[in-house]
A and B are shown apart, each in its own frame.
Chain A
Amino acid sequence: MKIPAFLRLTIRNVVVNTDMGTMIFMLGLPTLYLFVMGFMFQGIVPTGLQIKQNGLDIPYTTFLAPGIIALQSFTAGNIGGGMLWSDRRWGMFEQIMVGPFRRFEYLLGIICVSIFFAIVGSLIMLAFALAIPVSFNYNLIGVLSFLVTIVMGTILFSSLFLIISGIAKSMQAYQTITIVLFFLLDFASTSFYNITSSTPVWLVYIADINPLTYISNILRDSFIYGVNYQTFTSMGIIFAGMVVLFAISMRVYRNIRSGI
């Protein structure tokens, strides 16, 4: 049985990344968010945190779950795009480049492993959310827009991390950028909370240019409020962001020489 080159690389990327640390980062952390934050917030202020939108009352856990699922696109993009960094760092990029592969196949392997992790991760989070339980509405369009958005968001974030992997000169630089991005993008978005009239303006600006805001909103529409005109606008924004970042990442990738 012949496995195409990019798929062999994808399988390799999955194997290399299924270690304890990555799993905790990918699944453990969001699970903690989901359960601890979800119940804490809901428990501390049982009624005050009920979120109303489109005239519907939503318990905080139900509001939070799509946000946590949205984070999977960031995490998976980080793991996938970050592979270029670790492969350069540990000499495997050069090793693969002198093996039976073409450059674009390596890139495809990274995109594929990101999507794989994102889909597996978000399905697991979805299952956890259902165990809480949350009150989601399901329909075909919702599920489709969820899948399409997770895939687009993951390509967007893996491109972002490919760019960082391609230009970072040291381990410290790479890790610092990753951690700052992690906090900034995760928390300055609508993944955890709604933007309200009392949110400071500067935070609103950050949230407005943060892809996670749009992804979280789309997923809420998909699972709770129903897909609407606004949902498609957000998807268009994510699509545009994905195209731009992917194009930049291709440029960076093409110019990578061996070694760091």
Chain B
Amino acid sequence: MPENYIEIENLRKTYDGKKYALDGLTFNTGKGEIYGLLGKNGAGKSTSIKIMTTLIGFNSGKGTVAGYDIVKEAAKIRKCIGVVQQEESYDFATVENNFKLAGLLWEVGREERDSRMNELIDLFGLDEIRKKRMFDLSGGQKKRVQVAREFMHDMKVIFLDEPTVGLDPIMRRKILDYIRQKANKGLTVLFTTQNLEEADMICDRIGIINNGMIVEEGTSSQLKNKYGNLRTLTIWAGDESMLSKEQVQNIFSDLSFDQLEVKENVITIITKNLEKNLGKIMSLLSANNIQVERINVENPTLDDVFIKVVQK
């Protein structure tokens, strides 16, 4: 029996009987792997986490978490997972008591509980606010407690639903590093995010979810090669220039771009390996007497990747 695995097969889920929030979701995750579900608002990330953590039911399909069936062995699953849900979640008590209560609920012995609490408070920079009541904290501080608290108990799989939203870059980094460490020790991690860079940083494998299904999957470097290196280069030529697409295509005939648009005096190029070709592009333009007034380079947003993925 596979242990510490997530296997999801053809899950379908509708809330209202009309629209499917999950529409044939299929993926699996190995032991100690960090799997990232990447998708925009409403893609079905939280829905899939709620199903895998046995919080809600579904219409068809099947799945196992840590080797247990998500329907028949739900109680067993709940004993060996951790969940950081997207919505805020805390007890009406102080920060410290939130840790202690988590320890109580998970039957962590008193000594173990206190040492873990202190370690986590230290690691997540909560020392100054440990005596404060939860509702006196800032949004980011609450989120930090919520993520840290979940590590009070041991588990085989952790589900993290956009755990870094609202955190400053330093804390974000710290949390991602901590999760990485845990994964290296065998914890299986299911992580959702809308942030491509973040997924790239931490995930062993990424599934891009759209309209309730995985539309693209791979290691971060595979995906990066496919989409992540795309840059959008916009070039404004002198006001007087009226460029035609053929003219520009001829100038760049040696180079191949993913996309080339020309409108009056504005050239838009979408390409991989822009760093390598930028010099060549500029010198080709000047060799052809096109005066460049301004250029702009943009990294692809998640939407760009999506549009690509969905159009395919």
Contact = CB atoms under 8 A, between A and B. Distances in A.
Interface in A37-70: none
A98 B97 contact: no
Interface string B57-90: 0000000000000000001001101010101111
Residue of A90, A92, A95 most packed against chain B (CB within 10 A): A95
Interface string A76-88: 0000000000100
Nearest to A93: B89
Contact of A12 (B75, B78, B81, B91): B91
Interface string A229-260: 00000000000000000000000000001110
Interface string A14-32: 0110010000000000000
Contacts of A16: 91-93, 101
Contacts of A99: 78, 83, 105-106
A102 B91 contact: no
A195 to B, nearest CB: 39
Query: How many of chain A's residues touch chain B, expressed as a range?
Result: 20 to 34
B53 interface: yes
B228 to A, nearest CB: 33
Determine which residue in B92, B104, B107 has the highest number of CB atoms from chain A within 10 A of its CB, and name it. B92
A97 interface: yes
A15 B79 CA distance: 23
Interface in B29-81: 50, 53-56, 75, 78-79, 81
A9 B92 contact: no
B17 to A, nearest CB: 14
A8 B107 CA distance: 8
Interface in A84-134: 86, 90-92, 94-102
A3 interface: yes
A257 to B, nearest CB: 7
B78 A91 contact: no
A2 B107 CA distance: 8
A90 B92 contact: yes
Contact of A15 (B56, B81, B97, B107): B97
A12 B104 contact: yes
Contacts of B79: 100
Given A91-B87, A91-B90, A94-B55, 20 more contacts: A9-B105, A11-B104, A12-B91, A12-B101, A15-B91, A16-B91, A16-B92, A19-B92, A90-B88, A90-B89, A90-B90, A91-B85, A91-B88, A92-B90, A96-B105, A98-B81, A99-B83, A99-B106, A258-B55, A259-B87
Interface of A: 2-3, 8-9, 11-12, 15-16, 19, 86, 90-92, 94-102, 257-259
Interface of B: 50, 53-56, 75, 78-79, 81, 83, 85, 87-93, 97, 101, 104-107
9 contacts: A2-B107, A15-B97, A90-B92, A91-B90, A95-B89, A98-B53, A98-B83, A100-B79, A100-B106
